[in-house]
Structure 1
Amino acid sequence: METTTLIDGAFWLTAGAILALLMLSAFFSGSETALTAASRGKLRAQADKGSRGAELALEVTEDGEKLIGAILLGNNVANILSAALATALFSKLFGANGVAVATLVMTTLVLIFAEVLPKTYAITVPESAAARVAQPIRVVILVLAPIVTLVRAIVRGLLMLFGVKTDPDSHILSFRDEIVGALALGHSEGAVHKEDRDRLLGALDLSHRTVEEIMRHRSQIEMMDAETEPDRILSTVLASPHTRLPVYRGERENIIGVIHAKDLLRAVEKTVRGEDGNLASIRDLDIMSVAKPAYFVPETTPLDEQMREFLKRRTHFALVVDEYGDLRGLITLEDIIEEIVGEITDEFDLDAEHPLKRTDAGDYVVDGAMTIRDLNRATDWSLPDVEANTIAGLVIHEAQMIPAEGQVFSFHGFRFEVLARKENRITRLKIRPL
């Protein structure tokens, strides 16, 4: 009779309220997981296809701080209120033991049905779940906005006391890092091939690298003197593996134009096939009438900007100068593309230009002029390229001297042996991981 008296309309009303609060808690828990785990890239793709839910999900996740604040507020209110009602209900049924029973029962129900179950579902299909809950969560954010704003102000004030500044837009700045991390994870799990990873990372790095890092140094530029006899210039152009050759007058620093092999051959053909033309007429050819104006770029130009300039100007060749206008080297569109797709070779490239060879003992014989980035890409190493661009430059930087042949150094987990040196340049090294 006493139990029947206790289980009355108020009992069922309280039990129904607890059940409703548990469902509300499950909704908030699942929504939090779905909206934070969903890929913004996939949501954007769905939104572009006309998904209203995906578009709303993108909208509500723009301000992550407000989103989390509203969800946590609703979730905690639901959990605390359900626990309070359960305590009152079980205390009425079991007396002094009601608190212990309520704690055991509510912990089990909240853990399974309000936390693990909705979160597991949400993380299994995050984009789909995010699209479904976006509209009600948007309403919750609007309703709870005043309280969330007050809570956010209090939290920011407390964090500032400890010297921590919050930035709601920080996810935008870390977008590139997320892509890099995803590529590294995909490669480690075998989902992304090394070549694909390198190409994508190369494209991402263009804005962070400058012309100076990949240009061909001026000591390696093949040039022609404008005062040279035209027939000798023609022989030089035909013998060169390069299509475009700079022309200087007096000093090599004084570049006055660039000759394209095809333009020179057209001029030769016109001269030879003229009314009085013959092979001897080539000596009277005005070379500078064939040359095009030289295109100069600063050494600090970012690679992505330089690539856009090449495409805009419809040219593939530029000479690099420093802040004083002195010649530093040259860069081509192919050099920039190689930073994305890797080394590009054709039938005119010299076999001697291959800068990396592996010995039977497992050591790597490296051309000193090879860039650190290219070596890292070829071997999957992580040698730093902050202080130097080339392998030789890295050794000189770490050694704080210009080493002699035969000297050995160990740093960054590798053994470096100088195999050959020409004047003040290290031309060949042997490298072995320690």
Structure 2
Amino acid sequence: MEDVSTGILFSLLILLLVISGYFSGSETGMMALNRYKLRHLANQGHKGAKRVEKLLSRPDRLIGLILIGNNLVNILASAIATILGMRLYGDMGVAIATGALTLVVLVFAEVTPKTLAALYPERVSYASSVLLQLLMKLLYPLVWFVNGITNGFLRLLGLRVGNHHDGKLSSDELRTVVNEAGGLIPRRHQDMLLSILDLENVTVEDLMVPRNEIAAININDDWKSIVRQLSHSAHGRIVLFRDTIDEVVGMLRVREAYRLMMDKNDFSKENLLRAADEVYFIPEGTPLNIQLIKFQRNKQRIGLIVDEYGDIQGLITLEDILEEIVGEFTTSISPTLAEEITPQNDGSLLIEGSANIRDLNKSLNWGLPTDGPRTLNGLILEHLEDIPDSQLSVKVAGYQMEIVEVSDNMVKRVKIMPGQLQKTG
């Protein structure tokens, strides 16, 4: 080194600092990449993305390569800086060179390149991957040797490098990704995606039509009553039963009944039963995502939910599940949530007792408990453990409610008072 001029040593030191900055920036850029965007670009044929994805397939080797290069460069830079310091300042030059080099490395070879790489990871990674790929081939024996030592040490600690995270997202993580998509995905589409993810947390009982509201005809009724019920039916299908809803005998398409009506000779109880479809039963507790697949697999659109004793609990249709994903259809015969909520002049809300709790929570951003009764009426009755009288005020799950109307052993209408529209306590 004594024969090398000071100018050349300074130039070499600057070059080494640039190389150190390259390695530091490359490491940060590679680690800061969005792996899903990277995979998408690689699948689209982006050459830079393909190079980076190949390097990241073994992150231990990539990190080993970068750190080998970075440390070799920094050590060599330190040696050159020491020589320069001693030439210029004698024995004090060692301390001066150490302090100065530490500051320069920190600013220009660490913080600055790493900050730029964190802000623009794609640009830095795709560009640096060309040289890193070449260095990986040239220095592979050294990288393999160093990784062999480090991996052996990790095994002594009970860790295995091969068990790294495979990049798959859980449902909760995917929800976070969708929520943070912002303007990249329209709000309406985000809601639909989140609803699909939530299907596994919702069971058929949460959406079913209760047994007392099922459109059904007792086939043992007199003929005129049956004809009248068919003529005034607002539903596409009607359950046929004998004496009790638990004795179901078929699911009748109303249009088939109308077709039979056109021919008076064919219009009879026997032909109605013959025209009815076989009933499709669904066990209670079935998650919606499973039931959606079963509807598709069995070519069904409607089913009756039964408990462990075989008793009918309610009815659910394919449309009910689709509405859970995309929202209510305008053609729905059942009352919508908007029809069950009436804003009052004082700012309160008058709500039907039959309103679904999950729908209230989703629409009004409330936090009513959903692990028990499905309706507002059921929630109040469970809380009071009694059938209340009208004009009774009660606080349920932190919400102040006034029971406005009670009839037929049910809470028909409830008033949520002003100032209590957000959960308290």
TM-score, normalised to structure 1's length?
0.77
The aligned residue for residue 38 of structure 1 is 33
Give the aligned residue type for 2:214: I
Q: Flag the 1:284–1:197 CA change in 2: closer, same or farther, 3 A.
A: closer
Asked whether the 8 Å contact 1:90–1:101 carries over to 2, the reply is yes
SS at match of 2:244: coil
Equivalents in 2 of 1:416, 1:159: separation in Å? 57
1:291, distance to aligned residue in structure 2 (A): 0.4
SS at match of 2:304: strand
SS at match of 1:181: helix
Give the aligned residue type for 2:204: V
1:183-234: CA deviations, max 9, x gaps?
33355xx666543332221122223332222222222212111223455334
* Superposition RMSD in Å: 3.9
| Alignment of structure 1 residues 415-426 onto 2, 5 Å | 415-422=400-407, 425-426=410-411
Equivalents in 1 of 2:48, 2:150: separation in Å? 28
1:258-299: CA deviations, max 9, x gaps?
011122222322x23xxxx4xxx6346521111000011222
SS at match of 2:282: strand
Give the aligned residue type for 1:409: K
| Alignment of structure 1 residues 307-318 onto 2, 5 Å | 307-318=292-303
The aligned residue for residue 50 of structure 1 is 45
Equivalents in 2 of 1:352, 1:374: separation in Å? 7
Equivalents in 1 of 2:371, 2:61: separation in Å? 39
- The answer as to 2:237 corresponding to 1:252 is no
SS at match of 1:172: coil
Asked whether the 8 Å contact 2:238–2:251 carries over to 1, the reply is yes
Equivalents in 2 of 1:426, 1:153: separation in Å? 69
1:383, distance to aligned residue in structure 2 (A): 4.6
SS at match of 2:415: strand
| Alignment of structure 1 residues 239-318 onto 2, 5 Å | 239-269=232-262, 271-272=263-264, 277=265, 282-283=267-268, 286-318=271-303
The aligned residue for residue 395 of structure 2 is 409
SS at match of 2:240: strand
1:311-357: CA deviations, max 9, x gaps?
23332111112233322211111111111111113274557983333
The aligned residue for residue 214 of structure 2 is 221
- The answer as to 2:69 corresponding to 1:85 is no
Question: Which of 323-332 and 33-42 deviates more?
Answer: 33-42
Equivalents in 1 of 2:129, 2:379: separation in Å? 52
Give the aligned residue type for 1:107: L
Of 86, 96, 99 in structure 2, the residue corresponding to residue 103 of structure 1 is 99
SS at match of 1:241: coil
The aligned residue for residue 185 of structure 1 is 180
| Alignment of structure 1 residues 307-386 onto 2, 5 Å | 307-346=292-331, 348-350=333-335, 354-386=339-371
Q: Which consecutive unaligned segments of at least 5 residues does structure 2 have?
A: none
The aligned residue for residue 163 of structure 1 is none
TM-score, normalised to structure 2's length?
0.79
The aligned residue for residue 413 of structure 2 is 428
SS at match of 1:318: strand
Equivalents in 1 of 2:379, 2:163: separation in Å? 37
* Number of residues of Structure 1 aligned to a counterpart in Structure 2: 410
Asked whether the 8 Å contact 2:28–2:117 carries over to 1, the reply is no
Q: Which consecutive unaligned segments of at least 5 residues does structure 1 have?
A: 161-165
The aligned residue for residue 24 of structure 2 is 29
Q: Flag the 1:227–1:172 CA change in 2: closer, same or farther, 3 A.
A: same
1:33, distance to aligned residue in structure 2 (A): 3.4
Give the aligned residue type for 1:415: Q
1:59, distance to aligned residue in structure 2 (A): 4.6
Asked whether the 8 Å contact 1:418–1:429 carries over to 2, the reply is yes
